[in-house]
Amino acid sequence: KLFLRVRMNISGQRLSTPLRADVSMVLLEWLQLGCHQGESLHPGRRPETAASRWLQTCNAWREIWKKRGRAPESMRKHLAKAQKRFHCALHGSLQRRQKALQQLLQEKAPTERLEK
């Protein structure tokens, strides 16, 4: 018998679904977790999108395991680790974006002064 699961890596923390023999169930979980949306969970790409996808993914993952009977405390601990890593990556991405915007504004400022 062949068993499958969905696995995703979010900022170095892996989230997996239960092993299943039913391929259609695995595909449904893949959709629920939003894996079909590509790397939209990567904070460096689009932080706003990543933050909203993070919430969707956490809720879906929690529901999948809840139906399977996983202990709430175990889920909470696992998601807390993942959330900490995700938030660190998101914070770093936002800081880099802010720095890039400040540099852009500083570069633009001298030309505006010349035009006045």
The predicted-structure confidence for 102-114, as pLDDT tens digits, reads as follows 888 887 766 555 5
What distance in Å separates the CA atoms of residue 35 and residue 83, rounded to the nearest whole number? 17
Structure confidence by residue, pLDDT tens digits, 30-74: 999 988 877 666 666 677 778 888 888 999 999 999 999 999 999
Q: Which amino acid is at 77?
A: K
Q: Work out whether strand 7-10 and strand 13-16 pair parallel, antiparallel, or are unpaired.
A: antiparallel
